[in-house]
Amino acid sequence: MGQNAADAEQSAHLRKRIRSWQRAALPGSGTGTAHGKVILLGEHAVVYGAPALALPVPSLGCRARVACRFPGEGRVVGFRMVQLPPGVPSGPFLPPPHITEGPIPEGLHMVVSALLRRAELQVLPGVDILLESGVPPARGLGSSAACARAVTHALDDLLGLQLSSEAVFECVQSSETAVHGQASGIDALATGSRRPVLLAGGHVSTPAVGADGWIVVVDSGSGASTKEAVAMLRDSFAAHPGSRERFLDHSTALTLAGLRSMAGGRLAELGRRLTDCHQLLAGLGLTTERTDSLVDAALTGGALGAKMSGGGLGGCVIALAATEPEADALAALLLREHGVRCWTTRLVREAEHAGT
Ligand code: PMV
């Protein structure tokens, strides 16, 4: 046997040994979770560095399971996305009701490639992804960020990377940027936080909450493209000099006033700031007839305040209530009279924290 053939045989043998070692060393699969979110104040303005306040919606869960497949060479060899009725993903992975099979969304593909590179494996496995999400997509509830976060955690679990919270954020944010074009990072943060998230000028903190409250989340029934909404606003600002600054000043003032009201436990005042924020966003063409009428219905039904939430152009409306019975009554009324899906999430009384 010539030297080249001997070398080739030896490296093939080595590759085989490394592969079987990696098969044994890597656990078969990894899992990760995340959840949905709503934006209380400051959406869109936050893209330009102004403050925004988001609240997690833990009842809208998302879970990913990833598994290694050999050979795979770092490719995503399988992708299944199961959209569950909200609140379902808790027990063992379920036989899926609605499966989307096919090409992996670009943002998730970036997460997989980045984390496989980071693992520095000598022989790259293929990755099979199963996503179960109870976060309705295209409703301003952070579905894409929740999916990216769940997949990031699942790969971290599989590859034993022990990613810091900053590294997880970077992964989710790179996926969000691919999905939305320009993303502030608030979805990437809030889909992994158990507390309210304040993002202002790139700085993250947990704002004080002086009283318990309830947020009813109402689905308007129509999808919303955050990318489209962000681009629409960017074009409009470019066409109307000074309009961006006016919007940012107004939004900042509302968000800061809302934060003071929330810290002081003055929920009625906070509610008025939410409604003001809706009017501000409506003036920019981000609301629809349906989201406007849901806001009116919530206010008539006794909400302390109501607004569109997230990118707009459809999506969800949120409404503030002071107590759980009031929130339940509001949700029941909106369901009965408007035939929409509703969920509730809580504002929990808590002192301010430096980070999330
Ligand atoms: O993804 P959505 O629809 O919840 O919107 C996120 C909020 C925006 O401010 C419109 C965009 C961003 O990246 O902050």
pLDDT digits (tens, 9 = 90+) for 80-112: 888 876 554 444 455 444 555 667 888 898 999
Rounded distance from Cα 6 to ligand 1 centre (Å): 58
For the chain, the first-to-last Cα distance in angstroms comes to 63
Contacts of residue 130, defined as CB under 8 A and 6 or more positions apart, other chains included, come to 64, 65, 66, 80, 82, 93
Identify which has the larger pLDDT, 285 or 79: 285
Identify which has the larger pLDDT, 174 or 338: 174
Identify which has the larger pLDDT, 136 or 18: 136
pLDDT greater than 60 at residue 132: yes
Q: What average pLDDT does range 304-329 have in this prediction? A: 97
pTM of the model: 0.87
pLDDT tens track for 157-167: 999 999 999 99
pLDDT > 70 in the chain, percent? 86
- CB contact at 8 A, 190 and 172: no
Identify which has the larger pLDDT, 98 or 172: 172
Identify which has the larger pLDDT, 120 or 237: 237
Q: In what order do the strands lie in the sheet with 316-321?
A: 305-309, 316-321, 213-219, 342-347
Rounded distance from Cα 140 to ligand 1 centre (Å): 7
- Residue 212 has, within 13 A of its CA and on its CB side, a CA count of 7
The answer to whether the CB of 36 is under 6 A from ligand 1 is no
- Residue 16: pLDDT band (50, 70, 90) is low
pLDDT greater than 80 at residue 12: no
The answer to whether the CB of 183 is under 6 A from ligand 1 is yes
Instruction: Quote the pLDDT of residue 261.
Output: 98
The answer to whether the CB of 319 is under 6 A from ligand 1 is no
Q: What average pLDDT does range 64-69 have in this prediction? A: 89
Among 99-108, 123-132, 257-266, which is the least confidently predicted range? Answer: 99-108
**Mean pLDDT value across the chain:** 88
Question: What string of DSSP letters covers 233-250?
Answer: HHHHHHHSTTHHHHHHHH
